Structure formats: structure tokens, C-alpha cells
Amino acid sequence: MKRLFKRIAAVATCVTAMMGAASTYIFFKAFGRETPADRDKKEKKIPESSKKYQPAIKARKAWLLKQPCEDIYIKSYDGLRLYGRLLPPEGESPSAAESRPVTESPAAAESQPAGESPSEGEIRPTASKAPTIILGIHGYRSDGIGDFAVLAPFYHNQGDYLCLPDDRAHGKSDGSYIGFGYHDHFDCIAWCKYLVKRFGENCNIYLHGISMGSATVLSCCDDPQLPPQVRGIIADCGYSSGWEQIGHVLSTTCHMPSFPMLYMYNAICRIVGGFNLKDIRPIDCVAHSRVPVLFIHGDADNYVPTTMVYKLYNACKAKKELLVVHGAGHAMSYMTDSKAYEKSVTGFIAKTE
């Protein structure tokens, strides 16, 4: 009997070690900074349903890259240098300035990176119309251009400024590990404070997030540090819970059991990534949202289940609207039905500005 127990204990130890090793491997592959090889593989894995949109997406990326965007930088709360692009409205220069001074707030000043002057390229809005800035927060393994190139011409022609940061561990921003919306929500608020300082206290800011970016902006909606200049949130295909989303991916993509893999994976997230998946709960944040929310999701989204947007919408106690785009896969709602998307966004902004 003792020999049997020893064998069982040895097998259990071996299985636990294998699962721990698998969890660690998955974490570094999933949340470690992307390599050129990873990007090449991603290009080859475009879903069949999205391939028909690729020519239009590439054309809009090429258009955006030709625009006179300004490179901007802030420092994160934990010392990372974060990069963003600022695209002005049609007919305006990124460094356009008017004679009227910008009113600065103490909260906005906190987000100014050390060693960078707030007056350089400072945009000073005209007295006739307060500027509207769309802060676009991209999704997992993308960047500002990657997710928002398709929307850039729309906002550009609407007369809005478009600020497109690269999340930590993405694009030109510092960082070794993806924050999955936890660290990123602090970064998003820092970008908001930067924009208030840059454009003045009478500006209007809208947070537009896609996928992980959607979870990020929703995680900001109840934060007391969110500047009052944020008038609303546009949340496109975001998950309601980090814990549930990773569990869904483990079972559907990795074909691994949620238990005990999810618990072991979360332990690696806490030790290496510095966040707990259980703390990423946009569904709790929307219940106390300080701003209106427009929820958008595709009904053919297999990556972030469409059921999640209904959970978020029903939990939200602020003013809210919902657009579910028929036939749209993950992050493909705009390309699938751009007219409905634009109508919902323009109507939402008009009601909340």
C-alpha cells in the first residue's frame, strides 16, 4: 500500500510539474513581447471570414501612415515610456496653436513625463468649438495603427483629433509583458490626463477601445482618477472578465481544461506579469460607470463570446447603447457594417458631447 501511495504521489508531482511548465510556457507565449517571427505567424492566421477585408484594411493603413501624425510620449506609473500618434482633423496641423492659453489642472500635470516640456507642440483650441479627441486603445497583439487605421478616416473627416497609443509591450512602447487590461487601464488614464493638459480643460475626450482595449477602457469607467473631460466610452468586442476570457481561450484555442490550468496560469500572471486575472473585471466597473457607454459586438465573434456584451450591457448602470453587428467576427464590426457603426458612434457622441 505504501508503495502504491508513493507511486500516486510521484505521478501527481509529475503532472503538477508538467502543468506548471505548460502554464509558464503559455504565459510567455501569450503575454511576452511579440517577436518578428510571432508577427509573421499572425499574418498567416487571419480568419477566412476576415480575409476579404484585408485589401481595404491595408489601404487604410497606408493612408494613415502618410498622414502628418505627431509622435507623442508619456511615462507610465511604473516608469515605462509609452508611445502614441496624434492625428489632427482634416485641414489642421498636429502642432497648430491658437493665442488663447490652455488651463492646466493638477491632475493633468501628474501625467507629464519627466524631461518633456508640456509647451512643445501644445494645441490650444479655438474659442468657437471645444476640441473632441478620440483616444483609441487597441487590442491584444496589435498597435494603434493596426486596430484604428480602418476608423481613422471616419474620425478625421468628422473633425476629431485621434490619439493612438501603443499599449505597453506593443509597438513602440516600452514593456516586456502585456497587461491584458489591468496595467493598461492605468496607462489609459495617464493618456487622458496628458490630453487634458495638452488641449485644455474644455476639451471632450472619448475612449474607444477594441477587444483588450475595450476591456481596458471599461476598466477606467468607474475610476475616480478618470478626468471629467471624458464624455463617453465606445467599447468594441470587449470581454466582461479577464478570468473568464482566458478560461475561454484555454478551452477553445489551447484545448486545455480550465481546471487546474487556469489557476496555475494565473499564478504565473501574478508572479511574472504583476496582475491577477480575477482583478480584471470590466463587468464590475460598468456597474458604477461615471460616463455613458456604447457597446459594440459582432454576433459571429468566437474569440470574445457575444454573450459577454450582453452581460456588460445588462450590468451597466450608466446611460448606455448597444449595437450588435450581424455576421461580424472578432473586431470586424466596422468592416462588416460601417454605416451602422458610424451612425451609432456619431449619434452617441452627439448625445454626450
* 29-67: pLDDT as tens digits: 888 998 766 665 666 577 777 889 999 999 999 999 999
Mean pLDDT of the region 103-126: 40
Task: Name the residue with higher pLDDT: 191 or 91.
Answer: 191
Amino acid, res. 95: S
> Per the structure block, which three cell numbers stand in for 32?
511576452
Burial 79-97 (b: 16+ CB within 10 A, else e): ebebbbbbbbbeeeebeee
> CB-based contacts of 164: which residues, under 8 Å, 6+ apart?
69, 84, 85, 86, 87, 136, 138, 144, 145, 148, 152
Residue 24 in this model has a pLDDT that exceeds 60: yes
Rounded average pLDDT over 224-252: 96
DSSP H helical ranges for 168-222: 182-199, 212-220
The pLDDT value recorded for residue 200 is 96
Q: How far apart are the first and last CA of the chain?
A: 74
Strand partners, 83: 73
User: Which of the residue ranges 1-10, 156-165, 331-340 would you say has the lowest mean pLDDT?
Assistant: 1-10
Residue type, position 111, single letter: S
Q: Give the model confidence (pLDDT) of 266-315 as tens digits.
A: 999 999 999 999 999 999 999 999 999 999 999 999 999 999 999 999 99
Q: Mean pLDDT over all residues of the chain?
A: 86
